[in-house]
Chains A and B, each alone.
Chain A
Amino acid sequence: MSLLEVRGVDVFYGDAQALWGVSFTVERGTITSVVGANGAGKTTIMKTISGLLIPKSGSVIFEGRDITREEPHRRVEMGIAHVPEGRQLFPRLTVMENLKAAAYTKRAREGFEDRLEEIFSLFPILRERRNQLAGTLSGGEQQMLAIARGLVLRPEILMLDEPSLGLAPKLVLMILRLVRKLKEEGYTILLVEQNVYQALKLSDMAYVLETGRIVKSGTGEELLRDEGVKRAYLGL
């Protein structure tokens, strides 16, 4: 059984259809990525999984349970963590308070102190800045905090939406290395990245999304060799 299965979802913003019969699966312990151009619907997929959007038809199955109409906070309690695009921190809470806000659920509060230690060893800079307001952090630090907040949730699946967006090249590599490290530690990751080459290199499985439809799928390596993918996304 797959950890997560999205089955033929159609999602609308008002009258405009954003996703057309999108289906894919995420297996436990893998990195799965969704790549595609801006506006292809990658963020919409993530929002559908975390419950910010409800599909008109189709279903979202998590650990064998249909969660299509479940409220977002209930999904977090089940272990679905969505680190949204643009970080979406609480700017006038401190770093510590941002992490504490993420420890609101019963699931996350259990062993919060211990997990905090793990998180701080992963991101030493956050420990240094723990009493600083999140809004005053640099872009890279903000992204680390956003991911850290996701880890506080004790996720079964960690969904990262454009984690490297707007970061300097060195930081992009750092974040991507981190994603690989998280996988090695046993996390399951669903990744949306504009940096297609790097994303595919990391991924066990990948899906190409074009104007709301999945047009190609395969392992990361397969898609890296695919002529269409090369032409459209890799500039080769």
Chain B
Amino acid sequence: MVGLDYVANAVVSGILIGSVYSLVGMGLALIWGIMDVINFAQGDFMMIGSFVTYWAFTLAGVDPLLSIPLSFLVTFALGVLTQRVVIERVLDAPMVSQITATFALLLMIRYGAEAAFGPYTRRISVPYADVIFRIGSVSLQLPRLVAFIVSLGVALAFYVFLKTTYTGVALRAVSQNRMAAYLMGINVRKMYWLAFGLGVGISAVGGTLVATFLPIYPEMGGFYALIAFIVVVFGGFGSVFGAYISGIIIGVTESVSALFISPSLKDVVAFLLFILIILVKPAGLFGTEQR
């Protein structure tokens, strides 16, 4: 019999980890929604974020939370470069070419990192790693709580950016009608640079956040990319808001199910949920039928 306390704890820890999944998923959703490009290397850009944070901490003693802007900017710049050098050339190419291109990126980044850093698992031990708050019977690890708060802040900032700024509205316009965007004087090419940079940059923030409480390693992107895909399909293709909510739902599903079945099967549960949604609501929880 599983006690209610355990369930409450699992729900809370699911929300906390889910909020990181959300960030990775939001990045993927943004790129997907605006350019119709499926970025298989999304999880690997997140890994870059983790490693930026790791090296900043290890070499210069920079607190992981202070390295968030650095992690974002480095990955943003790499994203813009990737867009200019690779993605731009396959934007109007058949989907197979796009998939091949982003898959090649995945291999280059993942195994490039492995060649450079070795395949080892690394950890950052922040001084506040073991600080735990208790609310009733629910315990909260400080790094995870911080991750949740930061992720929520980033998601809100991003939402406000897309909703209220001229550039945010222009980005959404580009995603809905490229030709009309040209005619409104929007530099579509630049918007795509921005979209890819932001998309991978946001995921890298997720990478920084997990680095404070989970091991990091060059191949970590594989797991998070898988989650990100579930998040995006679950939340509705290209819906950034949907991605945030569904990341949390998937986090909770995973951690609650781990109480009842072997934790090694938690991904299976996420996938079952995914299949269920596909059957019941193919456009995703917050998706619209047409784009």
Contact = CB atoms under 8 A, between A and B. Distances in A.
When A and B form their complex, which 10 residue pairs have the shortest distance between CB atoms, in order from nearest? A76-B185, A105-B185, A101-B173, A88-B180, A72-B182, A90-B176, A104-B170, A73-B187, A102-B184, A90-B173
Given A101-B170, A104-B166, A73 B177 contact: no
A81 B177 CA distance: 16
A51 B288 CA distance: 32
B179 interface: yes
The size bracket of the interface on B is 10 to 19
Interface of A: 50-52, 71-73, 76-77, 81-84, 88-93, 97-98, 100-105, 107-109, 149, 153
A153 B176 contact: no
B180 A84 contact: yes
A170 B172 CA distance: 34
A90 B172 contact: yes
A97 B185 contact: no
A47 to B, nearest CB: 9
Interface in B133-182: 166-167, 169-170, 172-173, 176-177, 179-182
B166 A103 contact: yes
Interface of chain B: mostly helix, strand, loop or mixed = helix
Contacts of B173: 90, 93, 97-98, 101
Contacts of B183: 50, 52, 72, 76, 81-84, 88
Interface of B: 166-167, 169-170, 172-173, 176-177, 179-188, 288
A149 B288 CA distance: 25
B170 A73 contact: no
A153 B179 contact: no
A97 B184 contact: no
Nearest to A76: B185
23 contacts: A51-B182, A52-B179, A76-B184, A77-B185, A84-B179, A84-B180, A88-B177, A88-B183, A89-B177, A90-B172, A91-B176, A92-B176, A93-B173, A93-B176, A97-B173, A98-B173, A100-B169, A101-B169, A101-B173, A102-B184, A105-B184, A105-B185, A107-B185
A84 B170 CA distance: 18
